[in-house]
Structure 1
Amino acid sequence: MVGSARFAGIDFADIVESVDLKRHPDRLQNGTWFVVATFEGTITGWRFRHTTPSIPSDNAPHKWRGPAPGAWASSMDKKSYCAAVETVRAHVVEGEVYQANVCRILSAPMPAEPDAEALAALLSAGNPAPYQGYIQVPAGHGSDPIWVVTASPELYLRVRGARISSSPIKGTARTPDGLSDKDRAENIMITDLVRNDLQRICEPGTITVDPLLATEDHPGLTHLVSTVHGALATREWARILAETFPPGSISGAPKEAALAIIAKLETAPRGPYCGAIGVIDADRDEATLAVGIRTFWWEQPGVMRFGTGAGITFESDAEAEWAETELKAARLIALASGGTVA
Structure 2
Amino acid sequence: MNWSDDPRRRGSAAFRGVRASRPVEHVDAVEHPERLAAGGFWVVVATFEGRIDAWRFADVERAPDVREPPEAARAWLGPARSAWESSLDESRYLAGVEAIRADIHEGDVYQVNLCRVLRASLPASAPGPDAVALSHVLSRGNPARHAARIVIPESASMPGAWIVSASPELYLRVDGGAVSSSPIKGTAALGVPMLHKDEAENVMITDLIRNDLSHVAEPGSVAVPELLGVHEHPGLAHLQSTVSARLSPTFEWTGAMWGALFGGTFPPGSVSGAPKASALRIIAREEPVARGPYCGAIGWIDADTRTAELAVGIRTFWWENDAGGTLRFGTGAGITWGSEPAAEWEETELKARRLIGLASTATMGT
Q: Distance in 1 between matches of 2:360 and 2:273?
A: 31
Which residue does 1:3 correspond to in 2? 11
- The letter of the residue matching 2:105 is V
User: Which whole-Å deviations, capped at 9, do the CAs of 1:285-332 have from their partners, x for residues lacking one?
Assistant: 211000000000000211000000000000000000000000000000
Q: Distance in 2 between matches of 1:323 and 1:26?
A: 42
Q: Distance in 1 between matches of 2:95 and 2:119?
A: 21
Which residue does 1:313 correspond to in 2? 336
SS of structure 1 residue aligned to 2:192:
helix
- The letter of the residue matching 1:299 is E
Residues 46 and 52, structure 2, Cα contact 8 Å, conserved in 1? yes
Which residue does 2:361 correspond to in 1? 338
Q: Distance in 2 between matches of 1:139 and 1:207?
A: 40
Q: Distance in 1 between matches of 2:135 and 2:63?
A: 13
1:26 Cα deviation (Å)? 2.2
1:177 Cα deviation (Å)? 3.2
Residues 35 and 44, structure 1, Cα contact 8 Å, conserved in 2? yes
Q: Distance in 1 between matches of 2:338 and 2:33?
A: 41
Find the partner of 2:205 among 190, 206, 209.
Answer: 190
1:178 Cα deviation (Å)? 2.8
User: Which whole-Å deviations, capped at 9, do the CAs of 1:21-46 have from their partners, x for residues lacking one?
Assistant: 11122211211101000000000111
1:209 Cα deviation (Å)? 0.7
Which residue does 1:98 correspond to in 2? 110
Q: Distance in 1 between matches of 2:150 and 2:63?
A: 14
Q: Distance in 2 between matches of 1:328 and 1:298?
A: 19
Which residue does 1:250 correspond to in 2? 271
Moved more, 23-32 or 152-161: 23-32
2:163 corresponds to 1:148:
yes
- The letter of the residue matching 1:315 is G
1:62 Cα deviation (Å)? 4.9
SS of structure 2 residue aligned to 1:213:
strand
Find the partner of 2:320 among 286, 299, 319.
Answer: 299
Moved more, 329-338 or 57-66: 57-66
SS of structure 2 residue aligned to 1:76:
coil
Q: TM-score scaled by structure 1? A: 0.96
Residues 47 and 291, structure 2, Cα contact 8 Å, conserved in 1? yes
Find the partner of 2:63 among 54, 66, 89.
Answer: 54
Within-5 A mapping of 1:193-212:
193-212=208-227
Residues 85 and 102, structure 1, Cα contact 8 Å, conserved in 2? yes
The change in CA–CA distance for 1:241 and 1:223 in structure 2 (over 3 A counts) is same
2:309 corresponds to 1:288:
yes
Which residue does 1:175 correspond to in 2? 190
2:258 corresponds to 1:237:
yes
Structure 1 unaligned segments of length 5 or more: list them. Answer: none
Q: TM-score scaled by structure 2? A: 0.90
Q: Distance in 1 between matches of 2:200 and 2:81?
A: 35
Within-5 A mapping of 1:94-133:
94-112=106-124, 113-133=128-148
Which residue does 2:96 correspond to in 1? 84
User: Which whole-Å deviations, capped at 9, do the CAs of 1:164-188 have from their partners, x for residues lacking one?
Assistant: 1100000000025331000000000
Q: Distance in 1 between matches of 2:354 and 2:344?
A: 17
1:141 Cα deviation (Å)? 5.8
2:45 corresponds to 1:36:
yes
SS of structure 1 residue aligned to 2:163:
strand
Find the partner of 2:79 among 48, 67, 70.
Answer: 67
2:237 corresponds to 1:222:
yes
Q: Distance in 1 between matches of 2:177 and 2:14?
A: 25
What percentage of residue pairs aligned between the two structures are identical?
A: 55
Structure 2 unaligned segments of length 5 or more: list them. Answer: 1-6
Moved more, 324-333 or 26-35: 26-35
**CA RMSD, Structure 1 to Structure 2 (Å):** 1.3
Q: How many residues align?
A: 339
1:120 Cα deviation (Å)? 1.0
- The letter of the residue matching 1:280 is I
Q: Distance in 2 between matches of 1:77 and 1:121?
A: 30
Q: Distance in 2 between matches of 1:89 and 1:178?
A: 24
Q: Distance in 2 between matches of 1:176 and 1:256?
A: 35
Residues 8 and 278, structure 1, Cα contact 8 Å, conserved in 2? no
1:61 Cα deviation (Å)? 5.2
Which residue does 1:262 correspond to in 2? 283
The change in CA–CA distance for 1:270 and 1:120 in structure 2 (over 3 A counts) is same
SS of structure 2 residue aligned to 1:283:
coil
Residues 11 and 52, structure 1, Cα contact 8 Å, conserved in 2? yes
Residues 158 and 286, structure 1, Cα contact 8 Å, conserved in 2? yes
2:283 corresponds to 1:271:
no
